[in-house]
Amino acid sequence: MNAESFMVDVTAENFQAEVAEKSKQMPVLMEFYAEGAEQCQPTSALLQKLAAEFHGKFTLARVEVQQNPELVQQLGIRALPTVKIVFQGQMAGDMEGPADEQKLREVLDQLTMSPMERVREQIDFLIAQGERGQAIQMLQQVIAEEPKNFGLHVELCDLLIMEGQIDDARQILDAIPEDTAGVEKPVSRLEFLDLAGDLAPLVELQASSEAEPDNLQAKYDLAIRLVVEDQVEAGLEALLSIMRIDKTWQEELARMTMIKVFNMLGKGDEVATGYRRKMFGLLH
């Protein structure tokens, strides 16, 4: 669908229905412009592009100022173009002059985010701050309200593994459908814990690998321990070093293990993307 499907021309007569009432369900961007005014055209084009791109997550309410002096006066419009954002019946922001695309996108991303997306953002923030315990508590609270949201179960499982609560994580994995999106992350993480098994501590493995630089098993053991110790990038580098020496070692074990790491990191992870390219470069 094109931008026109999500646009409406607003006047004083339909303001209550098209802006005030509609804003209770979704954000409404009011664009104040003058027909034929060159300074308004770039902002109009940007807003229409975003309306099509966000596909109905907000309404673009266009107000032609010359035809609507009453609205212009009531809303205190002083410059053209002006964008006013109305959400839940309240003014949520405004921009005078040419609209800044990045700023507008950031505002729209926040306003159009679903409650579940908002929860995920909070959880990501807590994890980035090293507050895994708080993130686990938040997930447990949300899951209590939405027990059938298996995607959240997967995220909780992954965090529990990182916090060493392995038995609890295994119970969750046993209880959720095997085809749940993202389930390969905690499954792969558990596989690495099993692979680590009785391996020596990290310091000893690093010493062994440095003492015998051609010992591929020592490099592999070090890589596994690094991944388990949350030093994933260093672990991938160790696996890559094995491939540089012998791509076919142990039936391409280094390559297969790198793929497991990519699964554990999940789609879109920058480290996974970078090392996937490096691995591909070595293979071709």
Cis peptide before 115, with omega less than 30 degrees from 0?
no
Residue 1: the pLDDT is: 58
Residue 125: the pLDDT is: 87
For 8, the 3-state DSSP assignment is strand
Across the chain, mean pLDDT equals 92
Residue 3: the pLDDT is: 66
User: Which of 83-97, 110-124, 210-224 is predicted least confidently?
Assistant: 110-124
Residue 59: the pLDDT is: 93
DSSP label at 23? G
Summarised one tens digit per residue, pLDDT across range 81-90 is 999 999 988 9
Q: Could you give the angle at the alpha carbon of 99 between the alpha carbons of 18 and 69, nearest 5°?
A: 45
Q: Which domains does the chain have, with CATH numbers?
A: 3-111 (3.40.30.10), 115-181 (1.25.40.10), 202-283 (1.25.40.10)
Residue 112 has pLDDT above 70, yes or no: yes
Give the C-alpha separation, 42 to 40, whole Å: 6
User: Which of 163-167, 222-226, 266-270, 279-283 is predicted least confidently?
Assistant: 266-270
Residue 109: the pLDDT is: 85
Question: Cβ distance 161 to 186 under 8 Å?
Answer: yes
Residue 123: the pLDDT is: 86
- Tokens found for residue 239: 């696996």
How, if at all, do strands 90-96 and 28-33 pair?
Answer: unpaired
Residue 111: the pLDDT is: 85
Torsion angles phi and psi, residue 178, rounded to 5? -65, -25
Summarised one tens digit per residue, pLDDT across range 113-158 is 776 777 778 888 888 888 999 999 999 988 998 898 898 899 899 9
Give the C-alpha separation, 119 to 32, whole Å: 34
Give the C-alpha separation, 219 to 223, whole Å: 6
Residue 118: the pLDDT is: 74
Residue 211: the pLDDT is: 95
Summarised one tens digit per residue, pLDDT across range 134-143 is 999 999 988 9
DSSP label at 79? S
- How many Cβ atoms are within 10 Å of 232's Cβ, its own excluded? 20
- Give the residue-averaged pLDDT of 200-209: 95
Residue 170: the pLDDT is: 95
Summarised one tens digit per residue, pLDDT across range 24-63 is 989 999 999 999 999 999 999 999 999 998 888 899 999 9
- How many Cβ atoms are within 10 Å of 100's Cβ, its own excluded? 13
Residue 55: the pLDDT is: 87
| Neighbouring C-alpha atoms within 13 Å toward the C-beta of 233 | 5
Residue 2: the pLDDT is: 67
Residue 115: the pLDDT is: 67
